[in-house]
Amino acid sequence: MIKITLFHIANQNIRRKIFRSLAIAVSVAVVAGTLFSITTIMDSVETSLRRGTERLGADIMVVPANAEMKAKTALLAGDPSTFYMDKRIEDKVRQTEGVKKAASQLFLQSSEYECCDVADMLLIGFDPNNDFTIIPWLTKRLNRPLEDNEAIMGRALTAYAVGSNVRFYGTDIPIAGMLEETGMKFIDNSVFMPFKGLRKIAEDSATRGKETVDIPLDKVSTVLVQVNPEITAARVAIFIEHEIEGVKAIVSEQVIASVRKQLFILLRSILSISIVLWIMAMLLIGVVFSMIVNERQREIGLLRAMGAKKGNIFKLVMTEASVLSLAGGIIGISAGGLFLYIFKGFIRSSLDIPYLWPSAAQFSLLISFCLFLSFITGTLAALYPAIRSMRMEPYEAIRRGE
């Protein structure tokens, strides 16, 4: 049984001028698509940076003074790099004012690829007794102490599962746990082992491996620091550099903040272009709807004569605008999503920073936000024409439309 509704009339109106309707929908789509892509990237970067800092677990990363750039690159881009300083620095750091916890790590590039050995990944030695950056972040809690000959894998090393073995310099190492994904290659692509285990590998490599490993066990690559809550990390970093010769104390929040600042300047300029686009789209839609209302004056008058209330006429125009805006929003978001999907690799590599896609919940929130914005775009733009159409006196509307 057919029933005529306002939505049906609006829908038929949209179809009547398909090109005009498409023009409106596409202009909303462009805005929605750009905004969706940009906000998604910005949100991803922000989340990744925040999670990266949280995940690093350390407020400060102490490295050799000459390795500052290398360390920052490792921290952000995750390129495996090795640098060393005296192991005694760990104790000095621990004694510095404001330091709550300090844990050293030793970075080792794994051997050149040979059959069955893992190559070109960062093997990181750590002390499980002082650790606060590795074990708390296991995907599955390890309800026992980590054995010296066991390893923990970064999330990106998907070829290995917990319980399987990984071979380093001829020694098979059982994998005791897997770390949560961080987006930082420095953590995701690394294997973590207790110092003692590393020493054993070095000793055994002479007999088992194809090359003897010279592990600098009297050295450390970095000392990760957690500061007392009542003092800022920036001050503790100053204290560390002041007290200890030859080190650089990198405040992770500052690194992240500077990256965030640089990146957001770029993204903000794109965002401001989208805002200009948005305003233009609003103006365009406003003009088009004014034209529509003028063109349909007689129809509006006729509908009023048939008994349509002012509110019905308002709803009719607004329904048309909402349907077009939402359709434009859906098209734009889909196109934006497709763009992000197709170019995900490019985006990830060109940003050169930790990058994690938003969670499903965050995605839904972003989609809802962009849809809402699209809806607002059309409805706001059509608001004045809709009010004008509603206020027309029926007889005047019919006469003027003749």
Partner 1 sequence: MIEVKNISKTYKAGSELIKAVDGVDLKIDQGEFTSIVGHSGSGKTTLLSLIGGLTKPDSGTVVIDGTDLWSISDDDLSEFRNLKINFIYQFASLIPTLNVLENVMLPTAFSKSDEPFEDYARELIEMVKLTDKVNSFPSQLSGGQQRRVAIARAFINRPEIILADEPTGDLDEETESEILGLFHNMNENQKITFLIVTHSTDIARGCNKRYRMSQGVLKSE
Partner 2 sequence: MTRKFVIALMALSLLAFGAVAYAGSASSSGAGSSYDFSPKLSGIAYLQTHGGHVAVVDLSDGSVKRIVHGKPSDALTVSKDGKTLYMFSLDGHAKEVNLVTGKQTEWMKLGHKHCGSMVAPDGTVWVSDMKDGSIYIYDPKKKKLADVIKVSKSICGIDFSKDGKKAYASDMPGGFVSIIDVKKKKVIGKIEGVGNFIHRARVSPDGTELWQSEGNELKAGKPYGVGYAEDGGTPGGVSIVDLKSGKVKDFVITGGNPHDVSFSPDGKYALVAARQLPTRADSAIIVVDMKTKRVVKQYSACTSCHGAIGLEIPETKDGGRAFLCALDVDWNAKKFPAGCEE
- Point out which residues bind partner 2 (CB under 8 A): 234-235, 238-239, 241-242
SS3 assignment, position 221:
coil
Cβ nearer to partner 2, comparing 160 with 239: 239
For residue 141, how far is the Cα from the chain centroid? Answer: 26
Q: What does 234 interact with, of partner 2, partner 1, none (CB < 5 to 8 A by kind)?
A: partner 2
Q: What does 241 interact with, of partner 1, partner 2, none (CB < 5 to 8 A by kind)?
A: partner 2
- Decide if 186 contacts 72 (C-beta within 8 A): no
Q: Say if strands 222-227 and 60-64 run parallel, antiparallel, or are unpaired.
A: antiparallel
Neighbouring CB atoms inside 10 A of 201's CB total: 23
Please pick, from the candidates 211, 272, 395, 400, the single residue that binds partner 1 as defined by CB under 8 A. 395
Cβ nearer to partner 1, comparing 216 with 401: 401
Cβ nearer to partner 1, comparing 88 with 309: 309
Which residues are CB-neighbours of 197 under 8 A, at least 6 positions away?
A: 125, 147, 148, 149, 150, 151, 173
Distance of CA 294 to CAs 98, 369, 378, 385, 401, Å?
72, 32, 18, 9, 8
Alpha-carbon gap, residue 173 to 154, rounded angstroms: 14
Q: What does 365 interact with, of partner 2, partner 1, none (CB < 5 to 8 A by kind)?
A: none
Q: Does 309 bind partner 1 (CB under 8 A)?
A: yes
Minimum CB–partner distance for residue 188 and partner 2 (Å): 33
Q: What does 307 interact with, of partner 1, partner 2, none (CB < 5 to 8 A by kind)?
A: partner 1
Residue 83 identity: F
Q: Does 295 bind partner 1 (CB under 8 A)?
A: no
Rama region for 314: left / alpha / beta (φ>0; ψ in -120 to 50; rest): alpha
Q: Does 402 bind partner 1 (CB under 8 A)?
A: yes
Cβ nearer to partner 1, comparing 1 with 159: 1
Please pick, from the candidates 307, 345, 360, 361, the single residue that binds partner 1 as defined by CB under 8 A. 307
Contacting range for partner 1; rule: CB under 8 A; set: 24-32, 73-81, 103-111, 303-311: 303-311
Please pick, from the candidates 25, 31, 237, 303, the single residue that binds partner 1 as defined by CB under 8 A. 303
Minimum CB–partner distance for residue 303 and partner 1 (Å): 8
Q: Give, as one character, the DSSP assignment of residue 190.
A: E
Cβ nearer to partner 1, comparing 6 with 65: 6
Cβ nearer to partner 2, comparing 8 with 235: 235
- Decide if 181 contacts 155 (C-beta within 8 A): yes
Minimum CB–partner distance for residue 97 and partner 2 (Å): 9
Q: Does 400 bind partner 1 (CB under 8 A)?
A: no
Cβ nearer to partner 2, comparing 26 with 251: 251
x-or-dash pattern for partner 1, window 12-31, by CB under 8 A?
xx-xx---------------
Minimum CB–partner distance for residue 46 and partner 2 (Å): 24
Alpha-carbon gap, residue 187 to 331, rounded angstroms: 38
Cβ nearer to partner 2, comparing 235 with 391: 235
Minimum CB–partner distance for residue 83 and partner 2 (Å): 21
Token code pair at residue 271? 């965002």
x-or-dash pattern for partner 1, window 137-176, by CB under 8 A?
----------------------------------------
Cβ nearer to partner 2, comparing 86 with 243: 243
According to DSSP H, which parts of 103-182 are helical? none
- Among 199, 191, 131, which residue's Cα sits nearest to residue 166? 191
Residue 172 bridge partners (DSSP)? 167
Q: Spell out a b/e string for 335-374, using b for 16 or more CB atoms within 10 Å of the CB, else e.
A: bbbebbeeeeeebbeebebbbbbbeeeebeebbeebbebb
Alpha-carbon gap, residue 248 to 245, rounded angstroms: 9
Positions touching partner 1 (CB under 8 A) are: 1-6, 8-9, 12-13, 15-16, 298-299, 301-312, 393-396, 398, 402
